[in-house]
Every structure is written in structure tokens, then in C-alpha cells.
Amino acid sequence: MDLTREFVRAKNPCTEGYRWFLRHHEIGGNYQELLDALVLAGRVDDACWLLSQFGPTHTRLVLEDLTAEAVVFAGSLEIRGNVEIGSLLRVGRTLHAEGSVRVEGSLAAGDDIRVGGQLRCQGTIHAGGNIRTGYGIDAKDDIVCSGDMRVGWDLRSNGKLTIANSARIGQDLVVRGKVECGKSLQVAGDIATEDAIEVDQGILVGGSITCATHLEANFGVKAGQSIAAGGVIRVGESLMAAGQITAGKGYGIFAGLNVQMDAWPDSGKVCASSRPEPLLSGLWWGDCLI
């Protein structure tokens, strides 16, 4: 794709950025070459703006390894080894790295992010599609996944976690911000957050669930250990834990909210090591095996 002066000007660029474009590419230029030139000149924000305005391409670039200060690529990147980025990595379509990925700033892909090893990011992670990693994810800011998420090991973040579809975490899920999941959430280890948990379908956890505020799920919640919330617990179907179930002081525990009361023996029962108080909705079933 070639970008002419008229084509760029029609997008209403900032004055300084358009002047740079006229000085260095007066008669226009190849799309990716312009992105590379902007990044090389230290104008990474302008390169991101250009990609946002003109969108991704179907170009596919395959490399053995990738080490750079910043990369803005309009197509798909396929890296057979590791990725080391000093500030920002933005890809118009898919990022696929067979090794590990370390980004000292933010990471964004228009489609999927697939990493064979560990994914570490000092900023935000944003995927327009799925996120899949063979090992864990360690992020210092928000994680946004517009598809499904599959993480082989731990997922840890100092921000919030937003997943449009379902998520499966191979070990622990530990985040500082809110956890939002558009479908089901399955975690082999523990879930811990300093905010709320909201899941549109069900939650299945091998260990414990701990959240500082509210816990809400439209389907059932099942934990291999305890469930503790600093606020209310609202569950559309059954609520089950091998340990205790506790809500915050002054808050209630509600199960079976999305089914008729006659269906509580099948889809609205509450199981725990002791009866939770106050249990305001659902059928207390006693201590049952998880």
C-alpha cells in the first residue's frame, strides 16, 4: 500500500506529524516503510496513529529472533525464537512467537497473540483475538483479550483482566484489578484479586477463590478449597466449596438466583465445610465431596 500526501492529509494528522511526513516522504511512500521510518525517528506514537487510521495488512514476516527498541508492524509477525522489545510492540494482525516474549512497554495485536514460552510485559497487553501461552503471563498493567484465553502456567497482573470469551489458566490467577470474563473461567490453582470477579457463565477452580469485593457468576461456582469475598456473593446456580464460604461483613450469599426454587436440589444447592452465614438464597446441602 502506498500512502500519498492527499491520502494521509484526509485522516487529519497532527500538524507536527504531517510536517515530518512532508519533509521525509514528500511524494508519499510504502505503508510499512513509513511505519518503520517513524519508529526509527522516535515517532512511535505517530506510527501507532498511522496503523490505527489505515489498518492491518496481510503481510507475513518470519524471523528467527526479534530484538528491537520498538516495533510497529501492519501485518503478522512469526518469530521462531524469542522476542525482546525495549518499549512497544504493536502488530496489525497476529503475533506468533515459538519462544518467549518480553516487552518493556505495551503489547498489542489486532488478532491473536500466541507465545510458546513465557509472556512478560511491563505495560498493557491487548489482543483483538485469542491469547495462548505455553507458560505463564506476567503483566504490570491491564490485560484485554477479545477472544479466548489459554495460559499454561500462572497469570499475574498488577492491572485488571478482561476476557471476552472463556479462559483456562494452568496454575494460579493473581491480579490486582477486576476480573471480568464473558463466558466460563477455569483455573487449576487459586484465584486472588484485590477487586471484584464477574463471570457471565461459571467458575471452576482447583484451589481457593479470594476477592476483595464482590463475586458474581450467572452459572455455578465450584472451588476445591475455600471461597472468600469482601462483598456479596451472587451465583445463578449452585455454589460449592470443599472449605468455607464467606462473604464480607454485612453482605449476603445468594445461590440459585437464575433458576426456579424447585430446581435448587439440582441447580441451586450450596455445599461447604460449614453452613455459610448469611445464606439468603439457595438450598443448603451440607458438606459434600468436590
pLDDT at position 27 is: 46
Q: Which of 169, 99, 103 is nearest to 131 (CA)?
A: 169
Cell of 16: 507536527
Beta strand 29-30 with 2-3: parallel, antiparallel or unpaired?
antiparallel
**Domain C-terminal end among 177, 200, 229:** 177
**Contact present, 195 and 214 (Cβ < 8 Å):** no
Q: Does residue 159 sit in the same domain as residue 186?
A: no
Residue 69 lies in a domain: yes
Parent domain of 240: 179-290
Residue 143 lies in a domain: yes
- Amino acid of residue 168: R
Counted domains in the chain: 2
Q: Which residues of 246-263 are buried (b: 16+ CB within 10 A; e: fewer)?
A: bbbeebbbbbbebbeeee
Predicted confidence (pLDDT) per residue in 79-130, tens digit: 999 999 999 999 999 999 999 999 999 999 999 999 999 999 999 999 999 9
Predicted confidence (pLDDT) per residue in 188-237, tens digit: 999 999 999 999 999 999 999 999 999 999 999 999 999 999 999 999 99
- Amino acid of residue 61: L
Q: Does residue 210 sit in the same domain as residue 284?
A: yes
Quote the pTM value.
0.91
